[in-house]
Structure 1
Amino acid sequence: MIRTLLSRGLSLSLSLVVASVVIFVMLQAVPGDPAAFMLGLNAQPDTIAALRAELGLEGGLIQRYAAWVGGMLTGDFGQSYTYRVPVADLVRDRIGVSGPLAAYALILTVAIAIPVGLLAAARRGGLADWGVMGATQLGIAIPNFWFAMLLVFLFAVKLRWVSAGGFPGWSDPLAAIRALTLPAIALALPQASILARVLRSAVLDTLDQDYIRTARAKGLSRRAVVVRHAFRNAAIPVLTILGLQFSFLLAGAIIIENVFFLPGLGRLIFQGITQRDLMVVQSVTMLLVFAVICVTFLVELAYTFADPRLRKG
């Protein structure tokens, strides 16, 4: 077990190094000068040079990369070109929106997908199965940003149950959760559809095993066979999809956060791209890559708890 953890830790460290190099090189290759962009068309060359020095844009690529990575290791993500504040402060303010939003959407995804997937597997070939398959296919096909706009139109414009966007902060937890509900639903719908279909397929594969036939021969009900036996043994592919989905929900909510005007990390990256704030983009992107890799590592650890054979191995 310890050898496995060390091996995975080394692999993840190498992945982080490769990701940091790719992110830094790609953003440095973007045409245009951030200092010239910030100062406008009529800026003087000496003014641009002074701003480049202030922003840390002078020096070679290796020197700037080493300074950036060294700063991140100590918690210094650099200075935002646009906001003129440390990027770490911006991340600290925005993670309080993106993190709970991703967790909320993941909870909704699991709450919808597991009972729906188990129902479809238990009623294989029946009306419920066909209905679930049709509904999940529709959920996968609908773009989440379009579904988000439909939710805004229905619940904010027509029914006026919630506001169309914005975030009131966590001083009022109920208001904050209410503001995150529609974005979480918009994010959860396609992910729940995917997870339900994966769960149905995994459970159906498990139902063909010999020990399931033995459980049925002992007189167990269909519900007990599906929930107590088949679901537990179909958990590994479900855990894999959940890990990928949480990573997507955390790092891929840029469009949803812009639809609902949520001050999260996705909106921060979008603003950094439009304002050519490369320090914000590369630091926040690297932070999200780190979160994705950590979630992947935790999912692999969860395999050992879901499957005793892996613990013995």
Structure 2
Amino acid sequence: MIPYLLHRLASAVATLLLASLVVFAVLEILPGDPARLMLGLNASPEAIETLRTQMGLDQPVVVRYLEWLYGMVTGDFGRSLTYSSPVIDLVEERLAVSLPLALMALTLSTIIAIPVGVFAAARRGRPADTVAMGLAQFGVAIPNFWFALLLVYVFAVGFRLVPAGGFPGWGETWSSHGQAFQALVLPAVSLALPQAAILARVTRSAVVEVMGEDFIRTARAKGLPQRIVLWRHALRNALIPVLTIMGLQFAFLLAGTIIIENVFYLPGLGRLIFQAISQRDLIVVQGVVMLLVASVILINLMVDICYAVVDPRLRDGR
């Protein structure tokens, strides 16, 4: 297992370095002067020259890249021109919203999808399978922003069970934690159900494929109950594609929730990127994008480790 982990770790580091080159190069290939682009056309030459010095644009490209990379490693993502605050502080503030939201959505998606996928696989070709996969297809087709607006209309406007938008912060008391949790319920549900539909279809396909293997027939020949065959033998051996989709979904939920965060007025990472782009704050865009790329690579590395846990062949080097 050690060679497998070392190989995956080396691959993750190489991918991270390549991604840093791409992200840094985006600022270099922008037409015109980045400092003038950030300050606008009416900025004075003195202000533009000061910003160029702050951004290190008066230094060679290689020196700027190495200094920027060193700052990424040490946690110095630069300083936002719009917010007059270090980018890392903005990220920590917004991550307090995006990370719990992503975890809630992924947990809810997994709780719904895996039982539905196993249920459909156990009844392959029957009406129950058709209904379950039909609902899953419907969930894939529904735009999540439309579903979010529907949830707001029913549960926030109609029944008044949860707030329609905004985020009060986590605070320090249990009541403030409860209010913050309630503010994330509808966004988590609106994100989770479309993802659950995708995960259910993948789980069903993976379990159906495993159900035709020899070890499943052997388990049935031993007289094991269908429940044990499905959950202990079939599902465990079908987990690799399921874990892959879960890793991709968590990365999407962490970084790709711009529309949902704008629907519910949540101050998350997605909304921070959207605001930074609209305000031409390139330092924030560059730093946050690199951080999200690193998080995606880290999630994929964790998924690879989970592969080795569920598949003994990887631990044996096969």
TM class by shorter chain equals over 0.9
| Equivalent residue, structure 1, for 2:201 | 197
Q: Distance in 2 between matches of 1:60 and 1:149?
A: 49
Quote the offset at 1:268 in angstroms: 0.8
RMSD value, Cα: 1.8
1:155-187 deviations in Å (ceiling 9; x for gaps): 222222222211111122111111111111111
Q: Distance in 1 between matches of 2:62 and 2:156?
A: 50
1:179 lines up with 2:183 in the alignment? yes
Q: Distance in 2 between matches of 1:204 and 1:61?
A: 53
1:137-160 deviations in Å (ceiling 9; x for gaps): 111111212211222222222222
| Equivalent residue, structure 1, for 2:226 | 222
TM-score normalised to the size of structure 2?
Answer: 0.92
Query: Aligned ranges for residues 21-36 of structure 1 at < 5 Å?
Result: 21-31=21-31, 33=33, 35-36=35-36
C-alpha distance 60-150 of structure 1, shift in aligned 2 (>3 A): farther
| Equivalent residue, structure 2, for 1:309 | 313
C-alpha distance 65-75 of structure 1, shift in aligned 2 (>3 A): same
Letter in 1 for 2:147: F
SS at match of 1:77: coil
1:208 lines up with 2:212 in the alignment? yes
Q: Distance in 2 between matches of 1:38 and 1:293?
A: 29
C-alpha distance 239-195 of structure 1, shift in aligned 2 (>3 A): same
1:41-82 deviations in Å (ceiling 9; x for gaps): 433323332333345443343332222111111111101111
C-alpha distance 42-279 of structure 1, shift in aligned 2 (>3 A): closer
| Equivalent residue, structure 2, for 1:11 | 11
| Equivalent residue, structure 2, for 1:157 | 157
Contact 1:98/1:250, CA 8 A, preserved across alignment: yes
Letter in 2 for 1:278: L
Quote the offset at 1:218 in angstroms: 3.0
Letter in 2 for 1:105: A
Larger CA deviation: 110-119 vs 32-41: 32-41
SS at match of 2:170: coil
Letter in 2 for 1:63: V
| Equivalent residue, structure 2, for 1:260 | 264
Aligned length: 313
| Equivalent residue, structure 1, for 2:89 | 89
Q: Distance in 1 between matches of 2:41 and 2:71?
A: 32
Choose between structure 1 and 2 for higher RCO, CA contacts under 8 A separated by at least 6 residues: 2
Contact 1:55/1:79, CA 8 A, preserved across alignment: no
Q: Distance in 2 between matches of 1:42 and 1:199?
A: 56
| Equivalent residue, structure 2, for 1:276 | 280
Quote the offset at 1:39 in angstroms: 4.5
Contact 2:38/2:282, CA 8 A, preserved across alignment: no
SS at match of 2:84: coil
TM-score normalised to the size of structure 1?
Answer: 0.94
| Equivalent residue, structure 1, for 2:146 | 146
Alignment gaps of 5+ in structure 1: none
| Equivalent residue, structure 2, for 1:231 | 235
1:179-228 deviations in Å (ceiling 9; x for gaps): 11111111111211111111111111111122222322333332222122
1:72-100 deviations in Å (ceiling 9; x for gaps): 11111101111111101111111111111
| Equivalent residue, structure 2, for 1:20 | 20
1:292 lines up with 2:288 in the alignment? no
| Equivalent residue, structure 2, for 1:118 | 118
| Equivalent residue, structure 1, for 2:249 | 245
SS at match of 1:276: coil
Contact 2:27/2:34, CA 8 A, preserved across alignment: no
Larger CA deviation: 18-27 vs 101-110: 18-27
Letter in 1 for 2:46: D
Q: Percent identity?
A: 61
Letter in 1 for 2:265: F
Letter in 1 for 2:312: P
Alignment gaps of 5+ in structure 2: none
Quote the offset at 1:235 in angstroms: 1.2
| Equivalent residue, structure 1, for 2:45 | 45
| Equivalent residue, structure 2, for 1:102 | 102
Query: Aligned ranges for residues 55-94 of structure 1 at < 5 Å?
Result: 55-94=55-94
Quote the offset at 1:32 in angstroms: 5.2
Q: Distance in 1 between matches of 2:233 and 2:256?
A: 34
